Amino acid sequence: MNLTEWIKAGELQKVEVTESTLKDILRLVERDLKDAQLDGLSEDRRFATAYGAVLNLASYIIRTQGYRVVGKVGHHKITFDVAAIVLGKKSHDLIDYFDLCRRKRNKVDYDAADIVSETEVKELIKNALLFKALILKKEVK
């Protein structure tokens, strides 16, 4: 799908974006990346927090284009799908990885405990930082 098709499907809407809004989203990202690295939190919680940073990065790049994903069931997946359109092919490997993380985060938040390893947390944080670098380079309107 392209952006126009996402809008027609009712999954994406045009919004006015301010510099303040974009800065607020980046502050959320920084907070979550920092918190995901805190000792003393469970690996599950660190993973979910790092995932939150990634989701906000995907939302950020969509907002730079003047859109937002409509909040409803499935909006995390749609956020990543739309971010992949905005960022292009260079993001697809990361987006595919984050989709796997989305599924695991769902289990962590709703179904099971103690299912994430420290290695998985470190890998997600590393990829979140790569995604952040990719997005901040892209940042075009």
Helix (H) or strand (E) holding 13: strand 12-14
12: which 2 tokens? 């994406």
Mean pLDDT of 8-14: 93
The CATH number linked to 39 is: 1.20.120.330
Q: Which domain holds residue 34?
A: 3-138
Q: How far apart are CA 106 and CA 134, in angstroms?
A: 25
What domain count does the chain have?
1
Q: What band does 141 get if pLDDT is binned at 50, 70 and 90?
A: very low
Q: Note if the pTM is more than 0.85.
A: yes
Within 10 angstroms of residue 139's Cβ, the number of other Cβ atoms is 11
- DSSP codes of every residue in 34-87: HHTT-TTS-HHHHHHHHHHHHHHHHHHHHHHTTEEE--STTHHHHHHHHHHHHH
pLDDT computed for residue 139 by the predictor = 58
Mean pLDDT of 11-35: 96
Q: How far apart are CA 12 and CA 124, in angstroms?
A: 26
- The answer to whether the beta carbons of residues 32 and 52 sit under 8 Å apart is yes
pLDDT digits (tens, 9 = 90+) for 73-99: 778 999 999 999 999 999 999 999 999
Mean pLDDT of 42-61: 97
pLDDT digits (tens, 9 = 90+) for 95-139: 999 999 999 999 999 999 999 999 999 999 999 999 999 999 865
What end-to-end distance do the CA atoms of the chain give, in Å? Answer: 20
Q: What band does 72 get if pLDDT is binned at 50, 70 and 90?
A: confident
